[in-house]
Every structure is written in C-alpha cells, then in structure tokens.
C-alpha cells in the first residue's frame, strides 16, 4: 500500500517516540526492578491469621532492622487493622522516621479494597485471597492519609488511617 | 407525506429513532445523577429521601457508560448500514428483537439499582454481591447487542454476495470491525456474568474467584472504550469531510487504522490491574507494550483528519501555511462539536498514556485523576462527536430541517460543555495528583491538612458539573426540538467520497479471516499463560458480601 511521504514521517516520529517511552519503562522495570506491586502469595480470606504476618500480635508497625520497618495491615469493611497499643486500644496512627525502608503487607478479610497513602506512590489493590506487598522509602516528612481508594461498601469513605513521617 | 423528506425509509427511521430515544433519555437521567454526585462531594449537600451516594454513583455509571453509549452506537451504526448496504425486512426484525432484549435488560438492571439492591457500581467487582436481576439485566443487554452484531454481519455478507468482488462501502466495513471488536470483547464479560456472577448471586454456588472475575471483566473493559471511540472515528473519517466540503484523505488508511484497532484494543486489560496482586509483573509489562500499540492507529487518525481539513481548506483557495484553518466551517455545529471533541482528545490521549505506563500507574491508580481522564475521552471526545452526529442524523430521520436557531444553540451547547468539562475534569486531574480517591462520597478522612487541599477542587468539580448539566438540558431540548418541533424539510445524510488522488485500496484489507485470526492469536498470546497461572494459584474462593453495600 502506498503511504504518503508526510504520513510516513509522522508515523516514524510517532512510533519512534512510542519505542522510546517503552524503552524507558523497560529500563525501569527490568534494570532498576521497579515493577508495580504484584505479590504472588495466596491466603485463605476466611482464615488470614494462619499466616504469620497477619497474626493479631504481628499487626501494625514493627522495626526489623536499624532503619527498616514492616507494617502489617488487615484491610476489612471500612477499617485498617493496625494492631493494638499498650492500653489495648486500636492503633490508627503509625509513625515512621524519614528515610526508613518500609515494607507494607496487607490482605483483605472480605471484599476488594484499595491501599493508598495519598500523595505518595504507595498505592495498591487489596484482594481477598491474595497478599499485597510494597516496599518503599518515605522521603518527605509530613502527615499523610492512608485511605481506601476502591469502593468497598456504604462506609467506604470512612476507611482511613494516619501515617506520620517524622524527622528523628 | 413526510416519507419523501426522509433519508431512509420510515421503517428504518423508526428503528434507529427507538435507539436514540433511549440514548437521550439516558443522558438526562444519568447526567442528573452525576450532578448530584458533584454536589455531595462538595461537602455542602446531602441526598434526600435516604438515597445513597453509591446508589446514584452506580446509576450514573451504568446509565451513561453502558446504556447511553450502547444504544446510541448501535442505532447510529444501523443508520450507516441501512444507508450503505441496506437492511432487509428480516434483518430489521432481528434488529428490533435486539433492541427489545437490550431495553428489557436495561429496565431490569435499572430497577434493581433503584430499589437499592445493587449498589455495586458499574464495575460490579466481586465479592460485593448485587441482587441477581442486576446481573441478569446486564446479560440481556449484552445478548441484545450480539443480535445487533450478527444483524450487521449478515447485512454486509448479503451485500458482498450481491456485489461479487466489489469493495465493501467504507462505513459498512468500519461498522463490522467495531461490532467484531465488541463481540470478541463481550465474550469476557459474558463469561464472568453467566458462569461466575449469576450462579453465585442466585446461591447455586458458594464462592467466587475474585481475580478470575476481574481479569475477565477487564478483558472486556478496555476494548469497551474503543467500542465507544470507533463510531466517533467513523464520523471523523467518513462524514466530517463531506460537511467541510472535502474528500476522504485515503480509504485504505482509514481501513488500516480500524484493522489495527481491532487487533490491538482487544488483548489488553492488565493495565487496569497493574497494582493488584496475583498477576506476574512480566505479563503486566507485556500487556503494557500491547496497550501502547493502539497509539499507532490514533496517530494515523490524527494525520488523516488534519490532512483532510487542510486539503479542504486549500481547495477553497486558502494558500498560506495556516490560512486553510479559516476556511473550515466553524459556524456549522455539525463540524464544530466533533472538532472540539477531537481537540479534547489530545490531552485525553496523553493522560491515557500516563495511566497505562507500567510504574507510573501507581501515582494515579484509583485516584480521581482517572475519573477526569475518562470524562475527557468518553465524556468529551466521544460524546461531543455523538452530539455532532445527532445534529444531522436526527433531522434526516424525522424529515425536518436543522434550523439556524438550533445550529446556534448547538454551538452554545458545545461551548457550555467544553467550559464545564474543562473546569470539572481539570479539577479532577489536579485533585487526583494530590491523592484524592475516585468513587468516594464526601469525607474529611482523618481531618488532616492534606485532605483539606482537595476540598477546593471538589467545589470546582461541582461548579463544572453544574455547567455540564446545563449543557445536558440544552442538548436534550435540542434533541426533542429536532424530533418534534423543527420545521419539516430535508436534512442531508452526509457521506463523503474518497479523494481522487487516494491510492486504490488493497484487497487484503478485506481479508476478514486474516484479521480475526491475528486478533485471536494476540489474545491467546496475551492471556493464555497468565490465565492458567491465575487459576493454578487460586486462593479459596470468596463468599458474597451484601451487608457492606446497603
């Protein structure tokens, strides 16, 4: 098929930029290993406590190294379970020092939820039967809102917690 | 009496108009729901009579994204087919059966939503469970649309038989491509609704595999947006050149871009699932690459459009570099509305590239940025083109004239729409980047300062939404005026001819077996391994949750 000269130039430019975009994405994905959250482990949504990470005593923020933390969260109808404090009260704020390496791990006990720390790249889907994980370094101090960004029912817009990133 | 003014027989006009009535009534009802949502999210308004926010959100999504679009597109495509290849009595009968099946399905689903038993949003993600009639209604809409598909296929086949060796009319070719795309895509949603959702919601099985249902849904959900876009492209390629007094730039290029859309729009749904667990990141990346391929036919289309405009302008004697722009009929709403839609597609398409970009998706996934994105694509590019189509299609079906007054009102309507959408969609994009979530009722969350920064944009959304609703009321008025009020007369059904300078169309572009074969091969490539993986690594299934949605 004959294609007009200008059309050819336009397509070469367009397809060229496309290839450039994809190469950049591929370098990010396969060289720097930045993939979107894609954890492959499964879990029984009716019995999440059988998994070490989601046992009651392991929920919430835990320090695991000098500047390393794990945050285990159970997501369920309108509530992020971040464990209990010393007074046996539900935790709804977690405090993380700036520059710490943090691994978020969560799963759902009921429907699909979102797990987003607004204003950051921490953003993943939480699905019953699957574990979602995301490792990040919180670079900017501030008070962030952890919120559910996938519709999960009538109280969806109340499902939130606070993440404070502080200068130690 | 009126018959002589109609561009097609009154029997055909009645069929197409039936689809149009449903479409424009849907516009009003669905638009009202949208207006109420922006009010609620501004934090200054509460819904009366115990109506739930998520109930109107479900209604808004289902009525506008599924009902309005499907009815308008199928009606419009019947008009194109009748005009170019004709419709027999038998085919018209099957078209009516399709229409009634879709309408019954729509009423069943809408009724279920109205009674508050299906607040599951238009994506109906498991394991939120709606009352079974919600899913059964949706299944009927799909089945009805399949009847329309096969009617269109039959129409072209009959024409081909009668014109041995002839090249099919361009518009008929495009309609058949779009219906093929729709048929192949809806197999996914039909599979999940019929095999998973209906038995589960009826209590015949206890649990549902969530990831399988989501994967099947998004296998359909991405091509769905091209099913909306391609009829707009049909008008851009083959109708607008006539309106501006020009010719189609190249018949072959137009067909090629449609074939590429068929091949590349279907096998990609994972970019909607980029942030979810249970899907291997390598396959997500492969689907991202395939997603990007649809940019190529979009670029082809952009080139063709501007080439057509420039040639038409130059043929009227405008020679300077950009002088031909002045030669275009800016005061003709049949041109003005779709062109504004085209311009909106530049930022809209750019946003789409960002959304599909593997890692970047994490920044905007499920934020209200996404809502802003599809209000620019479907809500502006596609819908303004549909309005542009209505300005000539409705009069030519009802045997009336597009009066000067309506033309002016239409131009005002287009401007109102663009201003409203600029404010609303712009605010959504910014708020999304700041982290505001989509599909949520008004909330101050933890009351943090961060959340405060969103509220101003939510007020802007309400202002934009109000302007848009004024646009909807204007459009619905224009529609009914064109049906019942406009003076009798003739309105043309503009179909452009191909430029004499265009190269002949190669035969292989009509090799259906080849294109369908490549499409199926691509689907198998993109889905087989990850799908087997998803099924082999299935967690125990989920029971339904209804208590969370009331």
Domain boundaries, chain A: 1-34, 48-166
Query: Residue A52's pLDDT is what?
Result: 93
Query: Residue B4's pLDDT is what?
Result: 54
Q: How, if at all, do strands A123-126 and A132-137 pair?
A: unpaired
Beta carbon pairs, A and B, within 8 Å: 235
B545 has which bridge partners?
A: B128
Mean pLDDT of B245-257: 90
Q: Is B49 helix (H, G, I), strand (E, B) or coil?
A: coil
DSSP string, B532-544: HHHHHTPPPPB--
Query: Residue B158's pLDDT is what?
Result: 95
Task: Round to whole Å and give the CA distance between B495 and B518.
Answer: 31
The residues of B that are catalytic are 222, 226, 373-375, 438-439
Q: Is the pLDDT of residue B3 over 60?
A: no
Prediction pTM value: 0.95
Distance from CA of A77 to the nearest CA of B (A): 7
Query: Residue A1's pLDDT is what?
Result: 65
pLDDT in tens, A53-105: 999 999 999 999 999 999 999 999 899 999 998 899 999 999 999 999 999 99
Task: Round to whole Å and give the CA distance between B495 and B92.
Answer: 22
| CATH entry, A48-166, from 3.40.470.10, 3.30.360.10, 2.60.40.420, 2.40.50.100 | 2.60.40.420
How big is chain B by its Cα radius of gyration, in Å? Answer: 23
Domain B20-270+291-537 CATH superfamily? Cytochrome c oxidase-like, subunit I domain (1.20.210.10)
Q: Say which DSSP state B382 is in.
A: I
Q: Is the pLDDT of residue B359 over 60?
A: yes
Contacts with B, A 13-42, CB within 8 Å:
14-15, 18, 21-22, 25-26, 28-30, 34-42
Q: Which residues have C-beta within 8 Å of that of residue B118, sequence separation ≥ 6?
A: B58, B109, B112, B124, B130, B131, B134
pLDDT in tens, B296-335: 999 999 998 988 898 888 888 877 888 888 888 999 999 9
Looking at the complex, does the CB of residue A147 fall below 8 Å from at least one CB of chain B? yes
pLDDT in tens, B222-235: 999 999 999 999 99
Nearest to B75 by CA among B394, B338, B384: B394
pLDDT in tens, B471-517: 999 999 999 999 999 899 888 899 998 888 877 888 888 889 999 99
Beta-carbon separation of B359 and A112 below 8 A: no
Point out the residue among B211, B288, B547 whose CB comes nearest to the CB of A127. Answer: B211
Task: Round to whole Å and give the CA distance between A95 and B522.
Answer: 47
Looking at the complex, does the CB of residue A51 fall below 8 Å from at least one CB of chain B? no
From chain B, the residues in CB contact with A42 under 8 A are: 278, 537-539
Query: Residue B2's pLDDT is what?
Result: 42
Task: Round to whole Å and give the CA distance between A153 and A143.
Answer: 26
Rounded to an integer, what is the distance from CA A144 to the centroid of its chain? Answer: 14
Domain boundaries, chain B: 20-270+291-537
pLDDT in tens, B75-122: 999 999 999 999 999 999 999 999 999 999 999 999 999 999 999 999
Looking at the complex, does the CB of residue A89 fall below 8 Å from at least one CB of chain B? no
pLDDT band at B5 (very low <50, low <70, confident <90, very high): low
Task: Round to whole Å and give the CA distance between B345 and B306.
Answer: 14
From chain A, the residues in CB contact with B541 under 8 A are: 129
**Interaxial angle between packed helices B210-238 and B170-191, expressed in degrees from 0 to 180 and rounded to the nearest 10:** 170
pLDDT above 70 as % of chain B:
99
Tokens in use for B515?
């294109």
From chain B, the residues in CB contact with A136 under 8 A are: none
Q: Which residues have C-beta within 8 Å of that of residue B548, sequence separation ≥ 6?
A: A77, A78, A110, A111, A152, A153, A154, A155, B128
Q: Is A97 helix (H, G, I), strand (E, B) or coil?
A: strand
Q: How, if at all, do strands A93-97 and A160-166 pair?
A: parallel
Strands (E), A17-141: 60-65, 68-76, 79-81, 93-97, 101-108, 113-117, 123-126, 132-137
By CA distance, what is A157's nearest residue in B?
A: B440
pLDDT in tens, B47-82: 888 899 999 999 999 999 999 999 999 999 999 999
pLDDT averaged over every residue in chain A = 93
Distance from CA of B343 to the nearest CA of A (A): 18
Distance from CA of B116 to the nearest CA of A (A): 12
């Amino acid at each position: 098929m004959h294609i007009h000269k200008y059309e050819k130039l336009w397509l070469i430019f367009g397809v060229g930029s496309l290839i450039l975009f994809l190469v950049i994405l591929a370098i990010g994905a396969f060289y720097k290993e930045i993939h979107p959250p894609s954890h492959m482990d499964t879990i029984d949504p009716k019995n999440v406590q059988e998994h070490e990470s989601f046992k009651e005593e392991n929920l919430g923020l835990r320090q695991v190294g000098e500047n390393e933390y794990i945050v285990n969260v159970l997501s369920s109808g309108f509530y992020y379970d971040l464990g209990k404090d010393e007074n046996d009260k539900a935790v709804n704020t977690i405090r993380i020092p700036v520059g710490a390496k943090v691994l978020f791990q969560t799963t759902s006990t009921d429907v699909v939820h979102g797990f987003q720390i607004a204003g950051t790249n921490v953003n993943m889907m939480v699905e019953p039967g699957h574990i979602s994980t995301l490792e990040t370094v919180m670079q900017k101090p501030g008070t962030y809102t952890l919120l559910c960004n996938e519709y999960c029912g009538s109280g969806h817009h109340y499902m939130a917690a606070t993440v404070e990133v502080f200068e130690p | 009496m009126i018959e002589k003014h109609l561009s097609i027989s009154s029997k055909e006009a009645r069929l197409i108009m039936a689809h149009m009535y449903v479409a424009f009534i849907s516009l009003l009802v669905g638009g009202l729901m949208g207006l109420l949502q922006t009010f609620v999210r501004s934090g200054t308004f509460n819904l009366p009579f115990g109506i739930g926010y998520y109930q109107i959100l479900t209604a808004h999504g289902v009525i506008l994204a599924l009902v309005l679009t499907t009815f308008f597109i199928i009606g419009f495509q019947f008009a194109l087919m009748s005009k170019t290849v004709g419709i027999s009595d038998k085919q018209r009968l099957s078209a009516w059966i399709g229409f009634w099946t879709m309408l019954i399905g729509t009423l069943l689903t809408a009724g279920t939503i109205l009674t508050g038993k299906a607040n599951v949003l238009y994506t109906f993600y498991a394991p939120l469970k709606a009352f079974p009639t919600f899913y059964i209604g949706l299944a009927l809409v799909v089945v009805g649309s399949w009847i329309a598909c096969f009617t269109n296929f039959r129409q072209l086949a009959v024409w081909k038989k009668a014109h041995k060796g002839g090249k099919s009319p361009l518009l008929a070719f495009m309609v058949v491509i779009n219906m093929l795309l729709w048929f192949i895509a809806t197999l996914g949603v039909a599979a999940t609704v019929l095999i998973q959702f209906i038995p589960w919601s009826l209590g015949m099985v206890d649990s549902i595999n969530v990831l399988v249902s989501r994967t099947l849904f998004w296998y359909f959900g991405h091509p769905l947006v091209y099913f909306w876009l391609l009829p707009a492209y049909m008008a851009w390629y083959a109708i607008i050149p006539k309106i501006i007094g020009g010719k189609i730039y190249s018949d072959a290029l137009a067909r090629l871009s449609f074939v590429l859309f068929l091949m590349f729009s279907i096998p990609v749904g994972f970019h909607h699932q980029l942030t979810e667990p249970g899907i291997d990141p390598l396959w997500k990346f492969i689907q991202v690459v395939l997603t990007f391929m649809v940019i190529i036919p979009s670029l082809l289309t952009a080139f063709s459009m501007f080439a057509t405009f420039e040639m038409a302008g130059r043929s009227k004697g405008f020679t300077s570099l950009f002088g031909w722009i002045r030669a275009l009929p800016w005061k003709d709403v049949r041109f003005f509305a779709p062109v504004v839609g085209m311009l909106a597609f530049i930022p809209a398409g750019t946003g789409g590239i960002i959304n599909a970009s593997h890692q970047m998706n994490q920044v905007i996934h499920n934020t209200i940025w996404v809502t802003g994105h599809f209000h620019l694509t479907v809500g502006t590019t596609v819908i303004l083109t549909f309005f542009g189509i209505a300005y000539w299609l409705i009069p030519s079906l009802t045997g009336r004239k597009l009066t000067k007054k309506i033309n002016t009102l239409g131009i005002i309507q287009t401007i109102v729409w663009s201003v409203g959408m600029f404010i609303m969609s712009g605010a959504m994009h910014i708020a999304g980047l700041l982290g505001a979530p989509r599909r949520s009722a008004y909330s101050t969350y933890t009351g943090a300062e961060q959340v405060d920064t969103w509220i101003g944009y939510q007020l802007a959304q309400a202002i934009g939404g109000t302007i848009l609703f004024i646009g909807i009321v204007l459009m619905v008025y224009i529609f009914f005026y064109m049906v019942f009020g406009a003076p009798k007369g003739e309105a043309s059904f503009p179909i452009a001819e191909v430029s004499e300078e265009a190269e002949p169309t190669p035969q292989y572009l009509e090799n259906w077996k080849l294109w369908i074969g490549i499409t199926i091969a691509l689907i198998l490539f993109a889905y087989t391994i990850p799908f087997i993986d998803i099924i082999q690594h299935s967690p125990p299934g989920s029971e339904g949750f209804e208590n969370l949605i009331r």
